[in-house]
Amino acid sequence: MAQLVVRNLEEQVVARLRRRAAELGVSVEEAHRQVLREALLKSKGRGKPTFKEHLLAMPDVGGDAIFARNTKTRRPVEI
């Protein structure tokens, strides 16, 4: 396993990491690993689904007939 040392972190970041670790009941080191895994290994863009994930999450509400164009009704077009 590789090791990673992070220097010059803001105190606010360290405090939030400690709080997160306490809430989860894990060490600060484990909380740090979890944050890195969540940010880098799950969804690209942290919290934002990829286009593919977004499409896959859409509910199946029927066929494509609801998108059919009504060709009987014409609208005026200005050129």
pLDDT tens for the chain, 79 residues: list them: 889 899 999 999 999 999 999 999 999 999 999 999 888 877 555 567 788 888 888 888 778 888 888 888 888 889 8
Q: Which domain holds residue 33?
A: 11-60
The pLDDT, as a whole number, for residue 44 is: 54
* Assigned domain for 56 exists: yes
Q: What does the alpha-carbon distance between residue 52 and residue 45 come to, in Å, rounded to a whole number? A: 13
Residue 71 belongs to some domain of the structure? no
Judge contact between 39 and 46, C-beta under 8 A. yes
In a domain, 74, yes or no: no
Other residues' Cβ atoms within 10 Å of the Cβ of residue 31: 20
pLDDT at 28: 95
- Whether residue 15 lies inside any domain: the answer is yes
Structural domain total, the chain: 1
Decide if 1 is inside a domain: no
Given this model, what pLDDT does residue 62 score? 79
Q: Say what the pLDDT of residue 21 is.
A: 95
pLDDT of residue 47: 67
Residue 23 lies in a domain: yes
Contact 32, 17 (CB under 8 A): yes
